[in-house]
Structure 1
Amino acid sequence: MTMATGSAPVRKRLGSLRGQLLRWLLIPLGILVAIDAVSVYRNALEAADVAYDRSLLASTRALAERVAIVNGKVVADVPYVALDSFETDTLGRIYYKVTGINGDFVSGYDDLPPLPPDIRRSEAYPALVYFYHARYRGEPVRIAALYQPVYDNSMRGIALIQVGESHDARRDLSRQILFATLWRQAALVLAAALLAWFAVRFVLRPLMRLKADVEARSPTDLADFDASMVHKEVRPLVAAMNGYMARLQSLIAGQRRFIADASHQLRTPLTVLKTQAELALRENDPQAMRAIVESIAHTTDATVHLANRLLTLARAGHGAAEADMVEVSLTDIARQAGLELAAQAVKRNIDLSLDATAEIMVRGTPWMLHEMAINLIDNAIRYTPVDGQVILRVFNDGQPILEVEDSGPGIPETERERVFSPFYRAPSAQELNSGGSGLGLAIVRDLAAMHHATVCLSSAGNSGPGLKITVRFPVDNA
């Protein structure tokens, strides 16, 4: 079993445009909303911490006001009613500790975590207060440590009042802030999604109308689409579609023209062949029958020549793909075409020669250039009298040039443009060769145009009969 190699890569099928637009709109929006929600939540927690720290400081100050010096000792008068009011205000458990002037325990919870040495004083309040986090009795607490001056007539100093608060109230508030933030942001995302869906649906409505217009078209309707019915960004696509349909119309028109021309041009020789065949069947004289058969052979040759010209014209009508064009020797093309038609020239005793001193390169499709050379030489041989001369020239005068010159009757200047029309033949050509098809120069013109070359007809010399056909290729083709 063999495996194919060099196959084209499989392209991933694109999904819905509406879906892609919504994803590109909503996913970044969702990320931005999530970032904003985190930012809002953190700011709200910071504001809550500030508020709870202020409340904690107020409790600490209230407790500090009950610290005094009695009989030379620091005492704290803290009734349970005051502690109950603290817990009611903060909605959490309250722990406190009062330390005397000399660092001795005065009142409260003696195992409350001490003030860490590396904690900086809070700059938000004028008091000597420090805030820090610690763990106490297996739960996190926030502690405010306030240095309070105490004195009487006998002594003075600074006592340390510490009040700790559990995180219950802060956790409740943080959950409330979080849920409120998430609800608001979710509602915002939902509203944005609905607006984006309606906006995308509205914006894509012209494309949907264009789609419906395309689907409603009959196979033979190749009229242009109205580019004004879509947005400015989509108009190049509509213009490309219109251009493609114009090329398709041209191709179909060419095919129809070819069918009409072929049926018209082939009908006559085929009718003549049938008539000649019927005459041959009725003829008993061998000499007369031979003459009829020779006539049939001549008609068949003319019909084959016409059919080949028609097929070449049809093939040329499909154009030359840029990918099929290669660097090719115009000299070799002319030499090969001349060799193929040398027998035809010898049969009429025509001197067929090639004048080429160098290899002239052009970029083109080899079979098309060959057909162009064949048609030029064949035309020249057909319309050159016996014992005449046909010269092929390949040279470069700044541009690559293929030239065919004959010693035939030539074409008057008034007829030189018309002879490029299919099936048109100049009167002088009809007199010399009544069996021509009138397609040779039309084929030459079409093939030259596909290579961006120009075809020019002129007299063979300064005076006298003869025709010179010059095919001039562009410089960038060389």
Structure 2
Amino acid sequence: MSLRAFGRWPLGSLRNQLLRWLIGPLVALVAINAVSLYRDALDAADVAYDRSLLASTRALAERVSIRDGHVVVDVPYVALDSFETDTLGRIFYKVSGLNGETISGFDDLPPVPKSVKRSEAYPALVRFYHADYNGEPVRIAALLQPVYDDSMRGIALIQVGETLDARRGLSRSILISTLSRQAMLVLAVVFLVWISVKLVLRPLMHLKTVVDERSVHDLSEIDQTLVHREVRPLVRAMNGTMARMQNLIASQRRFIADASHQLRTPLTVLKTQAELALRANDPAAMRAIVESIARTTDSTVHLANRLLSLARIEHGSDAAAFAALSLPDLVREVALELALPAVEKRIDLALEAPDDVKVRGQALMLHELVANLVDNAIRYTPAGGVVLLRVRERETGVMLEVQDSGPGIAAAEHDKVFTPFYRAAATMEENPSGTGLGLTIVRDIVAVHGASITLDAGLGGTGLTVRVVFPFVHAA
């Protein structure tokens, strides 16, 4: 059964479930054991009573003899007295002669059924069977006794039966004794199990108290030693969730701080420009102010889009959305999208790539990565320059290169340019309105995809070369 199937019903109390699963089977096993013990005790009682019944039958058999050519039996009361004083039931007997005639006793005592076999438990020709006599169930022992003298010989049949009152009394006594002992055992085990479950669950209840008493701002790790080894994976999962929440909250705070810091200046400029436009009476001056407002608005929109892209990358790295993608097709698509600004600056935008090279990633993120690199290359390359896009396979993985003939970035600043809002000195001269977020966005996308990024000199030793190496896509 799957976990989803378990979710259809409320799980309820863990303590109650443990008690049910431990005590329920235990009670069933104890009940089975009680039945088995009861049957064994009854079998033992039957053996004891049958042995006593056989002893009385043999006592009668010793009184059977042949006298004057006839089978006779001398049955004084004392012969059955010892048997009668040991039981609460009543005794019936019958002695049959060589031809089945009744010699002594109760003539209507039930005969021996033909299906009853001789008992193998005793060295005698005896059969035991149950029957009804005068409306009461009885147990009868039938013994074949050889009799003979000088004139004749044959087999006499001695039958002794007893009512089942004594056996039933003993059965009730055995049953009550067995049930009482088993009930006391069950109660003792239930108490011990209840105490054990309570003690075992105490660390979980302590963990609940620790979590309940935490502040809403406390996302520190929970001590795994508070619980048993089997529960520690759950605590580790909780710690992992809280760590991700900490990262999420930190990124949100960083985004809010960055956005408030970076947007405050252009918004203040826009407000100032709007106030100047309202006070201006010269149409030419007003037009110049409106054009300045348009440029400031474009810069602000560009900055906001970069901030939103950075936030989306930080929160949208879902591995389930990753798929095998053609990197040359993706680079070609971005090159076509940005062909117009390259043409306006007379930049030679070239692409060198094989037909199909696969990388594994998220399409929107990879598009953002390539677009940032190509846009930066076109933006900072002077008019009449060259931007070369290259995709090729290397031993370490699939490599994307973006080379330009712009001002480049000094080697000392290669690590710094990935910091949010940091701008290299050479790029500020070429494009003063930049945001300083392009390579930060590229760095985060590279990290999400398990790739690597390096900076180097550009074409002819000038400009900049950005190399991104993606891992190979392994066949499933």
TM-score bin (small chain) = over 0.9
Residues 1:115 and 2:112 are matched in the alignment:
yes
Show the counterpart of 1:448: 446
2:241 alignment partner, one of 224, 240, 244: 244
Determine helix, strand or coil for the equivalent of 2:229.
coil
Listed as ranges, the matches of 1:463-474 within 5 Å are: 463-474=460-471
Contact 1:363/1:477 (CA < 8 Å) preserved in 2?
no
Residues 1:25 and 2:17 are matched in the alignment:
no
Deviations 1:284-333 (A, max 9, x none): 33333332222222221111111100000001010321222233332232
More divergent stretch after superposition (211-220 vs 81-90): 81-90
Listed as ranges, the matches of 1:208-223 within 5 Å are: 208-223=205-220
Deviations 1:97-146 (A, max 9, x none): 11223433211122323334454433333333322233333433221122
CA distance in 2, matches of 1:290, 1:304: 21
CA distance in 1, matches of 2:276, 2:337: 35
Q: What letter matches 2:453 in structure 1?
A: V
Show the counterpart of 1:3: none
* 5+ long unaligned stretches in structure 1: 1-7
1:179 alignment partner, one of 172, 176, 179: 176
Residues 1:430 and 2:412 are matched in the alignment:
no
2:132 alignment partner, one of 132, 135, 146: 135
CA distance in 2, matches of 1:137, 1:342: 117
CA distance in 2, matches of 1:208, 1:184: 35
Call closer, same or farther: CA 1:477–1:433 in 2, change over 3 Å: farther
2:380 alignment partner, one of 369, 380, 383: 383
- TM norm structure 1: 0.92
> What is the CA-CA distance between 1:148 and the residue it aligns to?
2.9
- TM norm structure 2: 0.92
> What is the CA-CA distance between 1:90 and the residue it aligns to?
2.5
> What is the CA-CA distance between 1:445 and the residue it aligns to?
1.2
Residues 1:459 and 2:457 are matched in the alignment:
yes
Q: What letter matches 2:134 in structure 1?
A: R
Deviations 1:364-423 (A, max 9, x none): 222111111111111111211121111222333353333211111222222212211111
Contact 2:52/2:83 (CA < 8 Å) preserved in 1?
no
Show the counterpart of 1:405: 403
CA distance in 2, matches of 1:13, 1:156: 84
Deviations 1:339-379 (A, max 9, x none): 22222222322222332331333332221111111111111
Residues 1:168 and 2:165 are matched in the alignment:
yes
CA distance in 1, matches of 2:321, 2:251: 22
Contact 2:56/2:80 (CA < 8 Å) preserved in 1?
no
Contact 2:456/2:465 (CA < 8 Å) preserved in 1?
yes
Q: What letter matches 1:99 in structure 2?
A: S
CA distance in 2, matches of 1:477, 1:382: 36
Contact 2:317/2:448 (CA < 8 Å) preserved in 1?
yes
CA distance in 1, matches of 2:66, 2:433: 140
CA distance in 1, matches of 2:344, 2:136: 118
Show the counterpart of 1:144: 141
CA distance in 1, matches of 2:151, 2:67: 10
Contact 2:93/2:159 (CA < 8 Å) preserved in 1?
yes
Contact 1:55/1:90 (CA < 8 Å) preserved in 2?
no
Contact 2:259/2:307 (CA < 8 Å) preserved in 1?
yes
Determine helix, strand or coil for the equivalent of 2:261.
helix
Taking only aligned residues, the RMSD between alpha carbons, in angstroms, comes to 2.2
> What is the CA-CA distance between 1:151 and the residue it aligns to?
4.5
> What is the CA-CA distance between 1:155 and the residue it aligns to?
4.7
More divergent stretch after superposition (10-19 vs 416-425): 10-19
More divergent stretch after superposition (410-419 vs 22-31): 410-419
Q: What letter matches 1:179 in structure 2?
A: I
More divergent stretch after superposition (106-115 vs 364-373): 106-115
Question: Aligned residues: percent identity?
Answer: 66
Show the counterpart of 1:5: none
Show the counterpart of 2:341: 344
> What is the CA-CA distance between 1:204 and the residue it aligns to?
0.3
> What is the CA-CA distance between 1:459 and the residue it aligns to?
1.7
* 5+ long unaligned stretches in structure 2: none
2:194 alignment partner, one of 189, 197, 208: 197
Show the counterpart of 1:4: none
CA distance in 2, matches of 1:222, 1:119: 83
Q: What letter matches 1:31 in structure 2?
A: A
Show the counterpart of 1:38: 35
> What is the CA-CA distance between 1:35 and the residue it aligns to?
1.2
Determine helix, strand or coil for the equivalent of 2:60.
helix
